Amino acid sequence: MTDALGIRVKSPAHPGDFLKHEVLEELALSVTDAARVLGVTRPALSALLNERASLSPEMALRFEKAFGLSMDTLMRMQNSFDIAQARKRENDINVAPYRSGSHP
């Protein structure tokens, strides 16, 4: 991925990857145990940690309450990831600029 100046930039990490490595692994918590702490199902947590699901505001709040992480920071991580993913597909989205007076 490159920025507007053509400088190579790293794509933002999916919050699930961050949570898996920086929280669960650091605390030596299994997915099953972490799901129990968070009050969610193991499949729901696994989908997030394995980047098959996005971080919801509710899940971010659960991580904040259980582990002291900022919900706002986690949601910004998800937003940055989503923006980067959309930018990767930018050329597949064909929309012409709106011009006043040129209604479809």
Query: Does residue 22 form part of some domain?
Result: yes
pLDDT at 66 over 60: yes
Domains: count for the chain: 1
Query: Does residue 89 form part of some domain?
Result: no
Please state, rounded to an integer, the average pLDDT across all residues of the chain. Answer: 92
Query: Does residue 57 form part of some domain?
Result: yes
0.85 surpassed by pTM: no
Query: Does residue 88 form part of some domain?
Result: no
Q: Which domain holds residue 53?
A: 17-82
Query: Does residue 32 form part of some domain?
Result: yes
Higher pLDDT pick, 8 / 72: 72
Query: Does residue 91 form part of some domain?
Result: no
Query: Does residue 90 form part of some domain?
Result: no
CATH code, 51: 1.10.260.40
Query: Does residue 3 form part of some domain?
Result: no
Among 42, 70, 48, residue whose Cα is nearest residue 34: 42
